[in-house]
A and B are shown apart, each in its own frame.
Chain A
């Protein structure tokens, strides 16, 4: 077997650099996603540090990355959480969709994009990053706050909306007609519903297909099944990502919990490659002209997310400061906006740099704003109440 020294060396250096960047981001309670994008930008052919040998691997790994991202999302999903969120937060989901997708669509129209481009940009501005936000709330130790369930509910409903949206976009972006897209969406929604029905009725059977006491077996079966389903989904133009999401949805209970544990490190690796690959596909020089548009869009949709969060938290009876915290928490965009570029980007060359710049701005600004807006004035000691001991 021929060992490619260039591949190993370049890949090793890339991974080590990503590790350093990630550590840097974590230290500042920021998301590593924008840094991975930047790394990709620098590594490209026209970038500062080209890495030709690793490039091919990164591209291949990116396809796996998008599949694993969506598989992990499907595994996270539970019907109980969805139906509870639906019951309390359906109006919030409506406000979320209107307030955040419409500015994206309008911006697309003003930039002269076609219908597909407008739809893609609407999706990119609509979907907050559940990955960044859930982690951020944990890091900032706000899981106990009263506004947190409303924030998480909005995220769950967004994820569900994405399951219907992605196949539509995938079909339209690959040049399909409207009726094909509607059909694709119906198939996807039908598949989601039947996946739920299947997982609640026969979930244990499907679980048995992949379940095995041995972690190695579980991981291999899990990946095998997911990739085959993803390939089939891609073949019928429903997008591999959606196929993977469905596999994740179908698995429930104990199997899902263990699958989550074995998949997480792999997902982290391949998702990082996916973000790097998106960065690679964008020429750094192309970023500058779209920067004003990206900044304006970030400002507008940052504000509309704040409104969304405030509305959702107000429905749960949260006070003024908590509502503001909820709004700020929703600002971060990330993996989904990039997944959308991954689907629609190849057919819309102007979209990738715009969304990349947009995500760069909001994946950095979102966590920062979340951290400082509505935070407690002093972060050291709990406030003493009248009659209780002053804190030592």
Chain B
């Protein structure tokens, strides 16, 4: 993907790109920390259609939401390099026996040899969570280990 960077003197920067579906999108990053997302769809190809405006905080939340699924992917890239090692996202279903209980209680590591390297909770990512980290429904655990181990963790977590 080719992202074009345009300087807006005194205002900030504009990043432009065309999606695979052929839509042109631009993100205006203002010096004040605000972001503006613009699409180009009209007959006037120079005119941007304001889609939405984000505060610094909202932009960060959005970035994390959009970026979260890719964390698991990146682990997949890493594990591809090492034979026998896999990584997968494991969802904590609402019915799981470990909802609202600390991660340590699953004894996932001792029972399967698999490591839980991150918990993705909505827009937040908890990197290398400790055993005291309390699990919640719909958390996604990023686990790394052998395929059998991961299957084991899935069974433990989802009950």
Contact = CB atoms under 8 A, between A and B. Distances in A.
Tell me whether A and B are bound partners: yes
A321 B46 contact: yes
> Do most interface residues of chain A lie in helix, strand or loop, or is the interface mixed?
helix
A383 B45 CA distance: 12
A138 interface: yes
Contacts of A376: 42, 44, 47
Interface in A124-161: 130, 134, 137-138, 141-149, 152-153, 155-156
Contacts of A153: 9
Interface residues of B, number: 27
A376 B38 CA distance: 14
A253 B60 CA distance: 22
Q: Which one of B9, B11, B12, B41 has the greatest number of beta carbons of chain A within 10 Å? A: B9
A141 B47 contact: no
Nearest to A375: B47
Contact of B14 (A76, A84, A144): A144
A88 to B, nearest CB: 10
Interface in A296-350: 318-319, 321-322, 325
A147 B6 CA distance: 11
B56 to A, nearest CB: 13
A104 to B, nearest CB: 24
Contacts, number: 87
Q: Which one of A84, A145, A156 has the greatest number of beta carbons of chain B within 10 Å? A: A145
Given A144-B28, A376-B42, A382-B41, A156 B9 contact: yes
B48 A144 contact: yes
B47 A149 contact: no
Contacts of A147: 46
Contacts of B121: none
Interface string B18-61: 00000000101011000010111111111111100100000000
A385 interface: yes
Contacts of B8: 143, 148-149, 152
A141 B10 contact: no
A31 interface: no
Given A318-B46, A319-B45, A322-B44, A382 B6 contact: no
A82 B9 CA distance: 8
Nearest to B29: A143
A155 B10 contact: yes
Interface string A359-392: 0000000000000000010000011010000000
A84 B14 CA distance: 14
A226 interface: no
B152 to A, nearest CB: 45
A319 B43 CA distance: 11
A195 to B, nearest CB: 18
B7 interface: yes
Given A81-B7, A138-B30, A156-B10, 13 more contacts: A137-B11, A143-B8, A143-B30, A144-B26, A144-B40, A146-B45, A146-B47, A149-B8, A156-B9, A321-B47, A322-B47, A325-B47, A376-B47
